């Protein structure tokens, strides 16, 4: 058996690479509160793409070791295929978004599509590493490399959450005549008496306090705010139906200090749970801004 493994090291390496590549994709594939990818058909699509990515990463190793460099050019075709996957996810989510009571928003959708493309590249990385160590050294080194690669991919699976950039405090929802406030931040004008009664009975308010100037600009991003409202509405529910704009959840900035006020009418009126949802909501990559990192030194001067 051991002799066969030594003689068929390319076959063993490719098999190990494919196995660990698929394992990496399965470890990164999860249907959560957003219900995406859907079960089972959405998962079948992404697992199938993961198998293809794992095979590409594994087969690339023997090609390189045999100096068959032209064979590696098929990876460029894989990159094009995965870009098409990103476009597919973007189009699908955009169509679904038009039917949501509280939409995700274009920024959130672009972030999800980017993640699905990137995870296929992480599968290629895992399978390539497992196959490389298995072929160059020994099969048990391939297993060790595959496990380490899966740990690395899971480390990069998720980014920062709102808890990294802001503190969240529970605040009072109040009406001053027709004007709606969360704490001291103006939200909107409420004209109908029935709507005011619903707001006073079911409304909850939270204030997000940015931790620094960079976080302040990130919270000001409209796409980031829409993502927060969508996550809150998905988990807590939303007390409204189509055609009721006065009951739509809103997030408004205090222009003086950058605080963000969030107003929501949930089906489940649990303020502490709403606070936890916001703290765990993702920070969108395309919403991150770092103005303090800009080089604003005048030309010709060194600091």
For the stretch 216-256, pLDDT in tens is 888 888 888 888 888 888 888 888 777 677 778 888 888 88
Phi and psi angles of residue 189, each rounded to the nearest 5 degrees, phi first: -100, 125
Instruction: Write down the mean pLDDT value for the chain.
Output: 80
pLDDT tens figures, 173-213: 888 888 888 888 888 888 788 888 888 888 888 999 888 88
- 106-136 and 41-65 helices, crossing angle to 10°: 40
Sheet with 179-182, strands from edge to edge, namely: 173-176, 179-182, 185-189
Phi and psi angles of residue 34, each rounded to the nearest 5 degrees, phi first: -80, -10
- The C-alpha atoms of residue 199 and residue 202 are separated, in whole angstroms, by 5
pLDDT tens figures, 115-136: 878 888 888 888 888 888 888 8
pLDDT tens figures, 262-275: 888 888 888 888 88
- Cβ atoms 283, 159 nearer than 8 A: yes
- Cβ atoms 132, 145 nearer than 8 A: yes
pLDDT at 8 over 80: no
Q: What is the pLDDT of residue 4?
A: 54
Q: What is the pLDDT of residue 303?
A: 45
Tokens 């997030």 sit at which residue?
A: 251
- Cβ atoms 53, 123 nearer than 8 A: yes
- Of 87, 158, 74, nearest in space to 124 by CA: 74
Tell me: cis bond preceding 203? Omega within 30 of 0 counts: no
- The single-letter DSSP state of residue 268 is S
- The single-letter DSSP state of residue 161 is B
- Cβ atoms 144, 133 nearer than 8 A: yes
Tokens 């959405």 sit at which residue?
A: 42
Q: What is the pLDDT of residue 294?
A: 57
- Of 19, 22, 17, nearest in space to 59 by CA: 17
- The single-letter DSSP state of residue 37 is S
- The single-letter DSSP state of residue 282 is B
Mean pLDDT of all residues in 37-41? 63
- The C-alpha atoms of residue 165 and residue 222 are separated, in whole angstroms, by 16
Tell me: cis bond preceding 9? Omega within 30 of 0 counts: no
């Amino acid at each position: 058996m051991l002799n066969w493994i030594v003689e068929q090291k390319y076959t063993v390496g490719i098999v190990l690479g494919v196995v660990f590549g698929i394992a990496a994709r399965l470890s990164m594939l999860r249907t959560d509160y957003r219900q995406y990818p859907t079960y089972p058909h959405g998962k079948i699509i992404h697992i199938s793409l993961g198998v293809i990515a794992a095979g590409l990463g594994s087969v690339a190793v023997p090609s390189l070791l045999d100096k068959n460099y032209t064979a590696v050019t098929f990876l460029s075709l894989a990159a094009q295929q995965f870009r098409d996957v990103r476009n597919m996810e973007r189009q699908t989510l955009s169509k679904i978004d038009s039917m949501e009571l509280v939409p995700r928003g274009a920024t959130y959708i672009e972030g999800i599509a980017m993640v699905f493309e990137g995870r296929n590249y992480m599968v290629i990385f895992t399978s390539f590493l497992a196959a490389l160590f298995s072929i160059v050294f020994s099969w048990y080194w391939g297993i060790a490399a595959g496990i380490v690669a899966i740990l690395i991919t899971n480390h990069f699976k998720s980014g920062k959450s709102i808890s990294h950039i802001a503190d969240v405090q529970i605040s009072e929802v109040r009406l001053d005549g027709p004007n709606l406030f969360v704490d001291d931040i103006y939200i909107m004008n409420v004209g109908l008496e029935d709507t005011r009664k619903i707001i006073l009975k079911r409304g909850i308010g939270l204030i997000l306090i940015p931790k620094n100037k960079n976080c302040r600009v990130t919270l000001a991003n409209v796409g980031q705010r829409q993502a927060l409202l969508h996550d809150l509405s998905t988990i807590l529910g939303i007390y409204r139906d189509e055609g009721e704009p006065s009951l739509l959840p809103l997030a408004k900035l205090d222009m003086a200090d950058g605080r963000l006020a969030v107003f929501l009418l949930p089906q489940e009126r649990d303020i502490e749970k709403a606070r936890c949802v916001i703290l765990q909501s993702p920070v969108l990559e395309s919403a991150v801004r770092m103005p303090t990192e800009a080089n604003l030194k005048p030309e010709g001067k060194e600091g």
